[in-house]
Amino acid sequence: MTGTAMTTALLLSLVTPLFMAALVLVRDYQSVLIRLLPLAALPGLMAAFSPPLEQQVIIPWMLMGSRLILDDTARLFLLLTTMLWAAAALYASAYASQIQYRTRFYVSFLLAMAGNIGVTLAGDAASFYTFFALMSFAAYGMIVADDTPATA
């Protein structure tokens, strides 16, 4: 993969779940996106299986110059993370059919996925804590999506 393609793969691994989370809010796209939920992790898998070159992406407009880094350690964790999120997405499609507030669950699920992938790729403290906060708050949203007394 060239440098530009690798940069695109890293950015897509974060942007794809965020974009899908925004589209889930649109009722017309919701049923299609629920079936495509496991594919949200695909750009991360593509980046993890790319040639073993250390890649760094600097986003100057985000948090005073955020960095995303894909080195050997991040590559391994990205592979594990995206495989687990893809498997969880397969399960979530069936699980969420029983939940009253499905839209809330799917948006929280995709935001937590983006946050977890961002934590894996974070190259500085500001982006790490930002993605960790996104992942944490979105995980809380998945827990309370059922809206039962046990989750309150």
Return the bridge partners of 67, or none: 58
Distance CA 64, CA 18 (A): 21
- Total domain count for the chain? 1
- What is the pLDDT averaged over residues 35-49? 90
Residue range(s) defining the domain that contains residue 37:
3-151
Residues 126-145 pLDDT 10s: 999 999 999 999 999 888 87
Residue 132 structure tokens? 């960790």
**DSSP run (H or E) holding 105:** helix 102-121
88: helix, strand or coil:
helix
Residues 49-105 pLDDT 10s: 888 777 888 888 887 888 999 998 999 999 999 999 999 999 988 777 777 788 888
pLDDT at 41: 92
Distance CA 75, CA 105 (A): 28
Angle subtended by helix axes 102-121 and 72-95, to nearest 10: 170
